[in-house]
Amino acid sequence: MGRRPDQVTSEAGGRRGKLRRTVGFGLVTLLGLAGATMLVAAFNLPADRPPMPAGDAAPAFLATPTTASPASPSPATGATATPTPSASPTGLPPSTPVSLAIPRIGVDTKLLQLGLNKDNTIQVPTPERANLAGWYKYGPTPGEIGNTVIVGHVDSVKLGRAVFFRLGQLRPGDKLSVVRTDGLTVPYRVDGVKAYPKANFPTDLVYGASDKSSLRLVTCGGPWSKTTSYRDNIIVFATQSSPARKAAQVARAR
């Protein structure tokens, strides 16, 4: 089913509920601003700065200019439900993600469910829960066709280093995985990592359309100032690398 950011469900903890309309394509811009301004107020000057992506870590597909406008992206593509627990052109049926693992940087986090604030900007974890990442619940779930979006803090006044402090260290080819409530583990491979000035947040690349099961991880980074906090957003682009498997199958494969 097609779905765009100006159409979100009102069902708590899920994406299949009565459709409510917000403010049309204006919401797309707000979602972009949410990424651009998220994780700002909770920070003091860090003792050490989070690592930035390597110069050659950007995804190869970004070398081909996109014709989509961040102000009016194509509708994000939902999944066609299928009972087969494997990667396919129609993707998996929806199932809420519960945890994210990124072995390369030591991340193993439960996932919060994040919706929208009253001004239609995306919610972020509270400073007290900066050790946890959160899934944007009005987007596709892992394994569905489309961009699954997960956001997390880079650091916080309460806890210091936060869940995504080392996100910028990831490289193309690194592996990560998301566990769903149906027991399936969806594996992903990093396509690349790139920093964007918050003023130029790539809304379409994060929330827009995709013809495959994709993942977007978002945090902050770059130069820091007491007035504006971090200048940039760091975004990890990843694609499902193999069919999803039950937890027992994943354990046997290790």
In order of their start, the domains of the chain are: 91-246 (2.40.260.10)
Identify the sign of the CA torsion 78, 97, 131, 242. Answer: negative
Nearest-angstrom CA–CA distance, 132 and 126: 9
Name the β-bridge partners of 136. Answer: 114
Per-residue pLDDT tens over the stretch 62-99: 875 543 333 333 333 333 333 334 444 579 999 999 99
pLDDT in tens, 108-128: 999 999 999 998 889 999 989
Average pLDDT, integer, range 142-169: 94
pLDDT band at 18 (very low <50, low <70, confident <90, very high): very low
Helix (H) / strand (E) element for 253: namely helix 247-253
| Rg of the chain on CA atoms, in Å | 17
Q: For residue range 184-225, what is the model confidence (pLDDT) as tens digits?
A: 999 999 999 999 999 999 999 999 999 999 999 999 999 888
Residue 112 CB coordination number (10 Å): 18
SS3 state of residue 63: helix
Average pLDDT over residues 48-62: 87
Task: Give the list of residues 6+ apart from residue 190 with CB closer than 8 angstroms, or none.
Answer: 170, 171, 172, 173, 174, 175, 176, 236, 237, 238
Give the type of residue at 95. Answer: S
The CA-to-CA distance between both ends of the chain, in Å, stands at: 35
Please tell me the pTM assigned to this model.
0.75
> How does residue 172 score in pLDDT terms, banded at 50, 70 and 90?
very high
